[in-house]
């Protein structure tokens, strides 16, 4: 028998008075991943990724933009020069770098970016025969918030897709919770939308059963142009409640801002383009709450 010394418990208060332990630290959740996608070129994908990202960060979200376009417009538009892109999304998808090593901060507090380089255009050849080729982004994103304290974790990831339904876009769709589709208010706006929706359906059936369409954002709207108004009416009739209330106007400040390496909200906070992207951010957060509640 071991000789255990008797413990004097006389000064330990009875259990009712025990001071409760500090609550466990809140567990961080994975971020919401939204892919900004439309295989049509020049419809406002990158402009939306940059400015929606900035607007979400401005209202307190912690946002990571993933530049998945070899053109690198999101990176350039956020003032990231080519020299500082030491690790890019191309390295990440090729399995040669961790996502956290590619992430750079921007001039906007709470807004970070994983930049791209032209190397991304060779990725399909590099990994096209690998079995996990469509899941490279999903795998890279999985540990993003691991080990981060509440308040430093990312709440939104926005993936800026290239103008194609290629392996890069499929990676974005396989990794995303939902798709955000910019549609330009012009005559051929709806052309190609059914092909995009079909691809989303295929990805849902094969790679990502939880994928949804978050919403459709009408861009470059010109109220003086009858055609713009007609497009808004047609798209709302065709897609119903999936179309956000907020419409992004055509605004010269929006198109000038990237040449200064700034989001329009930093370049000119008071212009109609900035106001619209702030409204869109609020609407997206509201829609997120409704999606979670249902
Ligand atoms: N609301 C706007 N007002 C004025 N110009 C805009 C607006 N939105 C986008 N643009 C301009 O339209 C052009 C295309 O926009 P953007 O690069 O965002 O499209 P994209 O879909 O990302 O193009 P790509 O398919 O080549 O990646 C850019 O020159 C951009 O500055
Ligand atoms: Mg683009």
Residue 158 Cβ contacting ligand 1 at under 6 Å: no
Q: Evaluate if residue 5 carries a pLDDT over 90.
A: no
Indicate the class that CATH gives domain 28-293.
alpha beta
pTM of the model: 0.91
State in Å: Cα 192 to ligand 2 middle: 17
| Ligand 1 pocket check for 46: Cβ under 6 Å | yes
Neighbour tally for 150: CB within 10 Å: 11
pLDDT reported for residue 2: 44
Checking DSSP bridges between strand 111-114 and strand 104-105, what pairing results, if any? antiparallel
Nearest ligand to the CA atom of 220: 1
**pLDDT tens digits along 131-144:** 999 999 999 999 99
Residue from 41, 44, 162, 181 whose mutation best tests the ligand 1 pocket (most atoms within 8 A of CB):
44
C-alpha 258 – ligand 2 centre gap (Å): 12
DSSP state of 262: -
Q: Which ligand has its closest atom nearest to the C-alpha of 42?
A: 1
Minimal-distance CA residue to ligand 1 atom 9: 44
Please report, for the chain, the start and end positions of each structural domain, with discontinuous segments joined by +: 28-293
- Quote the CA–CA distance of 44 and 216 in Å, as a whole number: 12
Tens of pLDDT, residues 194-223:
999 999 999 999 999 999 999 999 999 999
Cβ(218)–Cβ(183) below 8 Å: yes
Predicted confidence (pLDDT) at residue 267 exceeds the cutoff of 50: yes
């Amino acid at each position: 028998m071991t000789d255990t010394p008797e413990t004097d418990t006389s000064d330990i208060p009875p259990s009712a008075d025990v001071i409760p332990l500090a609550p466990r630290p809140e567990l961080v959740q994975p971020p919401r991943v939204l892919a900004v996608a439309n295989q049509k070129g020049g419809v406002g994908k990158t402009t939306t990724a940059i400015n929606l990202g900035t607007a979400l960060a401005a209202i307190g979200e912690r946002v990571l933009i993933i530049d998945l376009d070899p053109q690198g417009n999101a990176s350039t538009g956020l003032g990231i020069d080519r020299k500082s892109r030491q690790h890019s999304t191309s390295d990440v998808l090729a399995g040669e770098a961790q996502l956290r090593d590619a992430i750079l901060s921007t001039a906007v507090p709470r807004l970070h970016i994983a930049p791209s380089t032209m190397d991304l255009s060779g990725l399909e050849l590099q990994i096209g025969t690998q079995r996990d080729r469509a899941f490279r982004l999903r795998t890279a994103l999985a540990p993003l918030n691991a080990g981060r304290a509440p308040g430093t974790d990312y709440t939104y990831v926005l993936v800026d897709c290239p103008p194609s339904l290629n392996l890069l876009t499929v990676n974005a769709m396989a990794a995303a919770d939902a798709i955000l589709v910019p549609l330009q208010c012009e005559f051929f706006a709806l052309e190609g939308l059914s092909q995009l929706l079909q691809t989303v359906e295929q990805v849902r059936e094969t790679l990502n059963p939880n994928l949804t369409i978050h919403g459709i954002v009408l861009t470059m709207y010109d109220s003086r142009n009858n055609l713009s108004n007609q497009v808004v009416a047609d798209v709302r009739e065709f897609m119903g409640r999936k179309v956000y209330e907020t419409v992004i106007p055509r605004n010269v400040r929006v198109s000038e801002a990237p040449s200064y390496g700034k989001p329009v909200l930093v370049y000119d906070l008071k212009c109609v383009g900035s106001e619209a992207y702030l409204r869109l951010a609020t609407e997206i957060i509201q829609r997120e709450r409704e999606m979670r509640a249902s």
